[in-house]
Amino acid sequence: MSAHPTPAPDGARVGRPKVTVPDVRAAKHAKLPLVMTTAYDAATARIADLGGADMILVGDSLGMVVLGRNDTLRVTVDEMVHHTRAVTSQHPSALVVGDMPFLSYHVSREETVRNAGRLVQEGGAECVKIEGGRKRLRMIGALLDAEIPVMGHIGLTPQSVNAMGGFKVQGKVLEQAEGLLGDAAALAEAGVFAIVLEGVPAELARIITDDVDVPTIGIGAGPACDGQVLVIHDLLGLTSGHVPKFVRQYADLGAQAVAAMSAFAEDVRSGDFPSREESYAIPDDVAAALGTLVSD
Ligand code: KIV
């Protein structure tokens, strides 16, 4: 939300108020664009929070960008708890959203609440995100009954990669577009506090955004959404291989990191690192006594 103060340049903790679920809901009516990014550990959480994100999503994208897998399907609740705990160790001002991994909210209402409860109790998440539209209404009801706020996620839902036949933009044909409109309306009616719209045409995202009274957060969904989310590795330039066309890379940290690493390697091999200034000294008399001990 743009009302937040500019982050302190010296890396000091930003003294901004904690972002809450009601703040996120209210941002739509106040027309304050919402900023969300992923984070998976203490370092990325600090970057996201000091950079002024309103929401930090501990995304199951960690299966791909952190754990190096080809999709998100093998991410477990244990892994999500582990990474969520690392993020919340930094006590960010941003709202922390815990992503529920594949099969953690599909089997029963009881299992869904227990798994979401682990993200909240053990991980410290303040709300959870689940993928899917009308099919998920029963589970959303169970989570809300347990006082766990829910963020929806429709469109190109990565956990449906096999059903979709790949990571494909959704809603390009009328039937699909109508389905997504219906899903968004049903999620909003069920009580989610925001909806991620991923990989949908910009015009469809605009129609959905105008239609629902909760904020939409777009990723590959054009400029009309109430907020935007990017995977932090993508926006910082840490992703190797294919980067989707909706990603704007705000830094090239991957290239900078490789250059820094090769400079370190060169300095070690040439004997240039460490210097005297980078080493600890002992007083001359102790050094002299030590020398005597060794020569004796
Ligand atoms: O897991 C994730 O990073 C996500 C975002 C892409 C919305 O779900």
Global confidence as pTM:
0.93
| Residue 156 DSSP label | S
Residue with tokens 């979709």: 164
Report residue 216 as tokens.
């939409």
Same domain for 173 and 260, yes or no, is no
Q: Catalytic residue positions?
A: 198
CA distances from 256 to 50, 237, 253, 269 (A): 21, 9, 5, 20
Supply angle C-alpha 150, 160, 60, rounded to 5.
55
Mean pLDDT of the chain: 94
pLDDT per residue as tens digits for the range 82-140: 999 999 999 999 999 999 999 999 999 999 999 999 999 999 999 999 999 999 999 99
Q: What percent of the chain has pLDDT over 90?
A: 91
Encoded amino acid at 283, one letter:
P
Report residue 40 as tokens.
């998976």
Coil/strand/helix, residue 45: helix
Residue with tokens 């996120």: 24
CB of 234 within 6 A of ligand 1: the answer is: no
**Domain endpoint, select from 251, 271, 287:** 251
Same domain for 27 and 167, yes or no, is yes
CB of 97 within 6 A of ligand 1: the answer is: no
pLDDT band per the 50, 70, 90 thresholds, residue 1: low
Same domain for 205 and 62, yes or no, is yes
Return the pLDDT at 241. Answer: 84
Flag whether pLDDT at 10 surpasses 60: no
Q: State residue 161 phi and psi, 5-degree precision.
A: -55, -40
Same domain for 182 and 156, yes or no, is yes
Return the pLDDT at 8. Answer: 42
**Mutation choice for ligand 1 from 55, 61, 159, CB with most ligand atoms inside 8 A:** 61
pLDDT per residue as tens digits for the range 237-284: 999 888 999 999 999 999 999 999 999 999 999 999 999 999 999 999
- Measured by CA distance, the residue closest to atom 5 of ligand 1 is 59
* E strand or H helix that includes residue 283: none
Same domain for 69 and 87, yes or no, is yes
pLDDT band per the 50, 70, 90 thresholds, residue 13: very low
CB of 159 within 6 A of ligand 1: the answer is: no
Same domain for 106 and 41, yes or no, is yes
Let me know: does 134 contact 181? Beta carbons within 8 Å.
Answer: no
Same domain for 146 and 274, yes or no, is no
